[in-house]
Structure 1
Amino acid sequence: MTRFFLIAGEPSGDALGAALMAGLKQLDPDVQFSGVGGPLMQAEGLTSLFPMDELSVMGLAEVLPKYRALMRRINQCATQVLSDKPDALITIDSPDFSLRVAKRVKAASSIRTVHYVAPTVWAWRAGRARKMARVIDQVLALFPFEPPYMQAEGMRCDFVGHPVVSQPVASPDEAAAFRAQHGIAPETKLILALPGSRLGEVGRLAPVFGESLRPVLARHPSARVVLPAAGPVAGAVADLVASWPGNPILLDPRDNPNALTEKRAAFVAADLALAASGTVSLELAAAQTPMVIAYDMSWLSRQIIGRMMKIDTVTLVNIVTNQRVVPEYLGEACKPDRIAAALLDLLDNPDARAAQLAAEAETMRLLGQGDQPPGLRAARAVLDGLT
């Protein structure tokens, strides 16, 4: 009988953990689980040691008041792992918490440690891989170019695919139904606006996005803007877009049980997207939607991160394909006139659109689309690591 102790600290990790658990059960029906996880992992058979929400803390200001409580949970997890003696401890993202547990476990045992989601050492803070190698035996990577960075520090690293390739994508019929529902004719340009999911970034980007769309709508006056809002910031988004041109359509998840389905349909229905930097670029790639990426932050953050960055693009489609077909406007370049010019070029230039669509399709292929689901691939890698 194989036993695993898993730790996830946030919703994205809960989803990865649940898919991994499902894969492990498929390959080993007698497998047993313990650890910390959210509702998705619990649905796969995990009884969480304590609520996962206690670990979903981001930012120095938020962590400090909860520091002692988090340290107690770190020690509690490590003590439980040492007591359970599982075949492996599997930590899922949340490195600040996870790696502290792994450190304590490794200091007192030879229990195998697996970390799911490689640190982005290819982008910044390369020394993280060396530190991680002291306490982690195996890494499960989401991107195909990550294993060499981990292997160079002595860890086994398996590329298992990105979860985006397993997420549902709306059908053409669903996209057409979305347009019909909102009175958007098939020939009308539909532009997605995605200014982020955190209050700070939405507050910073929404005014820039609105002004960027003004020249686009002046040239294409019949175009419609659709804005799928993230639940935690939907109220703020509604206020911020009130002054936008074109009477944008806000998809508000707070009172709509079908919000996720609508969002997926909107992604496929759209002709173009203006999006904040992040994994949303992969969702757009999966939907075959051309995009312009824009992002800004405080002056101090710009200076610090700018000095630490090792790459010349932050857009994952550009990084995965090693191309630069998705235009991005970051920091001081995040200006409405420049963003508007890029949006208009994508709307009016078939060659630019074709180049992006080809890169998006290649991105999905490289991330594992058409292969076994990432959760099953991760499960195979974990079990293989035990032999």
Structure 2
Amino acid sequence: MTDGPLIWILAGEASGDVLGARLMAALRRRRPDLRFAGIGGHRMQESGLESLFPMQELAVMGLVEILPRIRSLSRRLDDAVRHIEATQPDMVVTIDSPGFALRLLRRIAPLGIKRVHYVAPQVWAWREHRVKKFPGLWDRLLVLLPFEEQFFRRRGLDARFVGHPVLQSGADKGDAARFRARHGLSDEARVLILMPGSRRSEAPRLLPVFGRMLSLLRQKLPDVVPVIPVSPVVAETVLKATADWAVRPVIITDAYDKHDAFAAAEAALTKSGTSTLELALAGVPMAVTYRVNPVTAAIARRLIRVPYVAMVNLLAGKALVPELLQEQCRPDLLAATVVRLMTDPIAAADQKAGFAGVLAGLRAAGTTEPADAAAAEILELLKP
């Protein structure tokens, strides 16, 4: 029996690792003979990928934060290119992480290998001029949001909407009673989800604010218990950063435990991104907050072309959830917002009603799960 086609696959951060593992499983269901190589995290490694180097080395965000890492990232890019040259895969699939992935796709263009990029660069939000650099980077772009397909096609790029993977996350399948029993929480404990981000560069900026916010919040809601779902990549960072909190948080790294926590939660504070869609799927009222280097924030404000940062707000076309960003990412404002979400049933109900409309638009035509739709696009392109 001959070996099947080799797919070289890259994920550069925790969310991409989850997508990559689901995609590998969906591909193998259709083509059990497929082989994989590349770079990924523990989920992709559990699916059989031997990562070329630790994925954590690529997990960095921010215009200023990335500067000290440029040299090491450049070396890792060279390593990836050499590995692709040596293994000569039948296809290269890059997932998100545009800063690294798009450079890799450009570097390997002369090799003539079919290339797919999964998760579109958010050029519709800022720096739209970058679209001019995209032709020739990939053979197909797989996008997660319904409006992205036409955005890229109008600019001459082959894009296919495959649906948003949050629909497969299981975020709506949690068990509140199981979570309370597992962590010894009483029925009176009011669970507050805190999501500071999956990158080492994100969590340290939000956690100190969250800690001071909790001290204020407990004055009005003494039964609040903070729960912090994090990726294994940043678990140790979060543990150290919360060691001196007056209220000891429950820190969880397991996806099923996270979904159980969602089921038990009354509210959440989260950074922007996919986490807002996870919480929406679970029906958890939320506010979005974020804080980056001031220089990064100043540059971003000049470049951003969309009215909202939160994905749920962008898809809803209105301020469905509060956004407390940068200067508004303050303990007092965050505490007041959480109090409202936990004590005002109308505010919570309005959010939940809006979530239903947002989620309805995230599935591609038909009933195919997003990972299966992505796998079908890849296998179609893989044909000789």
For the criterion TM > 0.5, the same-fold answer is: yes
Q: Equivalent of 1:361, from 334, 346, 356?
A: 356
Question: What amino acid maps onto 1:226 in structure 2?
Answer: V
Q: Equivalent of 2:171, from 156, 165, 169?
A: 169
**Unpaired segments ≥5 residues, structure 2:** 61-65
> In the alignment, is residue 71 of structure 1 matched against residue 71 of structure 2?
no
Post-superposition offset of 1:43: 5.9
Partner of 1:288: 283
Q: Deviations over 1:114-146 (max 9, x none)?
A: 211110112112123221223222100111121
> In the alignment, is residue 16 of structure 1 matched against residue 19 of structure 2?
yes
Q: Equivalent of 1:26, from 16, 19, 29?
A: 29
Quote the Cα distance in structure 1 between the aligned partners of 2:122 and 2:292.
Answer: 19
Partner of 1:256: none
Quote the Cα distance in structure 2 between the aligned partners of 1:125 and 1:197.
Answer: 24
Higher-Rg member (1/2): 1
Post-superposition offset of 1:33: 3.5
Alpha-carbon distance change, 12 to 300 in structure 1, aligned in 2, over 3 angstroms: same
Partner of 2:249: 249
Quote the Cα distance in structure 1 between the aligned partners of 2:56 and 2:320.
Answer: 40
Which structure has more helix as a fraction of its residues? 1
Alpha-carbon distance change, 183 to 298 in structure 1, aligned in 2, over 3 angstroms: same
User: Does the 8 A contact of 1:6 with 1:92 survive in 2?
Assistant: no
Quote the Cα distance in structure 1 between the aligned partners of 2:275 and 2:229.
Answer: 12
> In the alignment, is residue 277 of structure 1 matched against residue 272 of structure 2?
yes
Question: What amino acid maps onto 2:143 in structure 1?
Answer: A
Residue identity (%): 36
> In the alignment, is residue 342 of structure 1 matched against residue 345 of structure 2?
no
Post-superposition offset of 1:230: 4.3
Q: How many residues align?
A: 373
Post-superposition offset of 1:286: 2.2
> In the alignment, is residue 226 of structure 1 matched against residue 221 of structure 2?
no
Question: What amino acid maps onto 1:224 in structure 2?
Answer: V
Quote the Cα distance in structure 2 between the aligned partners of 1:317 and 1:380.
Answer: 27
TM-score between the two structures when normalised by the length of structure 1: 0.83
Question: What amino acid maps onto 1:355 in structure 2?
Answer: D
User: Does the 8 A contact of 1:139 with 1:156 survive in 2?
Assistant: yes
Quote the Cα distance in structure 2 between the aligned partners of 1:169 and 1:20.
Answer: 18
User: Does the 8 A contact of 2:143 with 2:162 survive in 1?
Assistant: yes
CA RMSD of aligned residues (A): 3.1
Post-superposition offset of 1:353: 0.6
Question: What amino acid maps onto 2:26 in structure 1?
Answer: G
Alpha-carbon distance change, 97 to 35 in structure 1, aligned in 2, over 3 angstroms: farther
User: Does the 8 A contact of 1:231 with 1:252 survive in 2?
Assistant: no
What is the SS of the residue equivalent to 1:271? strand
Question: What amino acid maps onto 1:116 in structure 2?
Answer: Y
What is the SS of the residue equivalent to 1:133? coil
Quote the Cα distance in structure 2 between the aligned partners of 1:183 and 1:57.
Answer: 33
Partner of 1:331: 326
Quote the Cα distance in structure 2 between the aligned partners of 1:104 and 1:309.
Answer: 28
Q: Deviations over 1:209-258 (max 9, x none)?
A: 2333344322222333333354444444345435545x3332255xxxxx
**Unpaired segments ≥5 residues, structure 1:** 254-258
Partner of 1:263: 258
User: Does the 8 A contact of 2:242 with 2:249 survive in 1?
Assistant: no
